[in-house]
């Protein structure tokens, strides 16, 4: 795909085409890669003519199937519509729990005991939106923030993985223990050697294994004269003993 060919850190379609500095040039986060992919689909892929559609682009084909042109939404409204949602109950003091994480939001204390709707972005659940059901519509109440995690970015999958690891270790799951596990994982990832570094280390170990150590070389050098003398000594036979043994 042309998109990946032009991205920094591109490794080529095969080993022969791989740039030597590809790993050093890699600088895209998953979020940035997602943005690049969406931009490519919207601005290029959907604007090209598909052979199966005659002379129409994919976007024109979609447009021709509409009964009416939908009203344009603001980017923020679209973000909210694309969020996942679930229901929770507000606890005393304006707290609520989601995925083993405790949240708190302004004005939520007055809704203690009520069932509310949560909207969240799975890519970062440190901030969630709280809504009340009012008839056939939802009414925004407040934002709720993960306590002690306000400055972090934590995805839904990361939160689940952290909770699972903490539980397996027999520890209590809390915001602080999740934060500690996230920090520990980040440190581990940063210290973990890259694939190239691991391969170089393995090659060095293999070379060491193939080369005899200095002690082995010295032992061979010391042992070699004695071995040579032993190999040069003639074999002596006892004729009288052979007569007794073989009846000569």
Model pLDDT for residues 194-241, shown as the tens digit of each residue: 556 666 666 676 666 666 655 555 555 555 555 455 545 555 555 566
Q: Which residues of the chain have pLDDT under 50?
A: 227, 231
Q: What is the pLDDT of residue 35?
A: 86
Full 3-state SS string of the chain: CHHHHCCCCCCCCCHHHCCCCHHHHCCCCHHHHHHHHHHHHHHCHHHCECHHHCCCEHHHHHHHCCCCCCCCCCHHHHHHHCCEEEEEECCCCCEEEECCEEEECCCHHHHCCCEEEEEEECCEEEEEEEEEEECCEEEEEEEEEECCCCCCCCCHHHHHHHHHHHHHCCCCCCHHHHHHHHHHHHHHHHHCCCHHHHHHHHHHHHHHHHCCCHHHHHHHHHHHHHHHHHHHCCCCCCHHHHHHHHCC
Q: What is the pLDDT of residue 165?
A: 93
Q: What is the pLDDT of residue 51?
A: 78
Q: What is the pLDDT of residue 24?
A: 64
Q: What is the pLDDT of residue 142?
A: 95
pTM: 0.63
Q: What is the pLDDT of residue 18?
A: 64
Q: What is the pLDDT of residue 211?
A: 65
Q: What is the pLDDT of residue 64?
A: 85
Q: What is the pLDDT of residue 30?
A: 76
């Amino acid at each position: 795909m042309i998109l990946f060919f032009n991205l920094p850190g591109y490794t080529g379609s095969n080993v022969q085409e791989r740039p030597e500095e590809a790993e050093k040039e890699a600088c895209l986060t998953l979020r940035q890669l997602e943005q690049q992919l969406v931009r490519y689909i919207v601005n290029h892929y959907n604007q090209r003519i598909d052979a199966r559609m005659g002379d129409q682009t994919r976007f024109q084909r979609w447009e021709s199937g509409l009964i009416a042109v939908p009203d344009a939404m603001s980017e923020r409204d679209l973000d909210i519509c694309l969020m996942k949602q679930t229901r929770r109950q507000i606890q005393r003091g304006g707290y609520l729990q989601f995925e083993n994480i405790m949240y708190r939001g302004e004005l939520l204390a007055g809704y203690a005991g009520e069932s509310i709707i949560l909207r969240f972005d799975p890519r970062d659940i440190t901030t969630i939106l709280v809504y009340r059901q009012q008839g056939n519509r939802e009414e925004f109440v407040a934002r709720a923030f993960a306590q002690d995690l306000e400055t972090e970015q934590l995805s839904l999958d990361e939160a689940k993985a952290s909770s699972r690891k903490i539980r397996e270790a027999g520890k209590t799951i809390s915001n602080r223990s999740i934060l500690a596990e996230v920090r520990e994982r980040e440190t581990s990832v940063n210290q973990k050697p890259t694939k190239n570094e691991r391969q170089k280390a393995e090659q060095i170990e293999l070379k060491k294994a193939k080369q005899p150590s200095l002690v082995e070389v010295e032992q061979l050098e010391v042992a070699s004269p004695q071995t040579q003398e032993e190999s040069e000594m003639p074999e002596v036979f006892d004729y009288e003993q052979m007569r007794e043994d073989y009846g000569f």
